[in-house]
Amino acid sequence: MKKKGIISLLSVGLLASSLSVSTTQAAENNYESSKKTIESRLKSDKPLNHNVINPYALREIKEQTLITLETPKGFSTKKFNASSASIKGSSGQPMYESEPNDDFKIADTLLNERVTFGQFDDTLDIDFYKVNVSGKGTLLVAGGTDTTSNIDLLFLATEYEYQDHGYLEYLGSEYDDGVEVQGYKVNKAGTYYIPVLDLNGNDYDAIYGISTQFEADKDTVAPNKPTVNKVDNNDKVITGKAEAGSTVTVNVGKKRIGYAKASSKGSFSVSIPIQKKGTKLNVTAKDASNNVSKVTYVTVVKH
């Protein structure tokens, strides 16, 4: 019995040692492969083209990240490991990394225009974040550390598991006052990921900040002109089809006589005063970006 007990203890010890080595090896492989992939993606680094980046947005995310990092921080992010920790705080206030977040599947969620603080647990630690993007546009990602830090921060925005379907186009980066800002052209709405690691891997207590800002492309395409059903001299309502969610306006000359919003399926119903036979109505649709369609002309007929 004693021998069996000794053997069992030895077996448990060997198993624990084996698992520890295996876990460390997996972490090292994850770190090295991620580092290699990120460096490869950023090897053709280039300065941000200010002609394709909103200068106000660039200045805002840079200043916000810098100011937040300079704010006194009497905390350790390792204490904030509850699942709800990463979404606490009022609008604009910094958030905190929620461990574990060392893989795409368990990435912390970033909120645009909110800096998230993080720390690395060890030399092989990688922190993963994700951001939800509502449509086509420009995504800015800013990262930085406090001035006393030895962290050499490496990060980028990518698709899930470093895939590349062309949904993100790297626009370049800019480094100023300890904050790096990277720009990306987003070609499809979705969730994108931001892995973050320390190239030095030797400053466990130092704090870094990561933040994002998204600016949707402005819609410059006008809706198709509305399709309007027959209107007679007894009608108090005009019906038809237009771009979903657009505002349909009915005028006589330059005078507006009615308007209404098209439904999610594009149907509209506009209440108007009864019009005389032969009156010419002009009907337009305007979308949320204030693009106005061409005019549909309708002549009132006799009932």
Q: What is the pLDDT of residues 103-124, one digit of tens each?
A: 999 999 999 888 999 888 777 8
pLDDT at residue 206, as a whole number: 76
Question: Kind of pairing, strands 247-252 and 179-186?
Answer: unpaired
| pLDDT at residue number 80 | 46
Q: How far is CA 213 from CA 24, 135, 143, in A?
A: 35, 13, 12
Q: Is 36 exposed, middle or buried (0-12, 13-18, 19+ CB in 10 A)?
A: exposed
pLDDT surpasses 60 at 3: no
Among 65-69, 157-161, 176-180, 218-222, the range with the most confident prediction by mean pLDDT is: 157-161
Question: Contact 33/161 with Cβ under 8 angstroms?
Answer: no
| ∠ Cα 191 180 69 (to 5°) | 95
Domains of the chain from N-terminus onward: 25-216 (2.60.120.380), 227-299 (2.60.40.10)
pLDDT tens, 46-67? 888 777 778 888 888 888 888 8
Virtual CA dihedral for 27, 29, 30, 33, nearest 10 degrees? 160
Reported residue count of the chain is 303
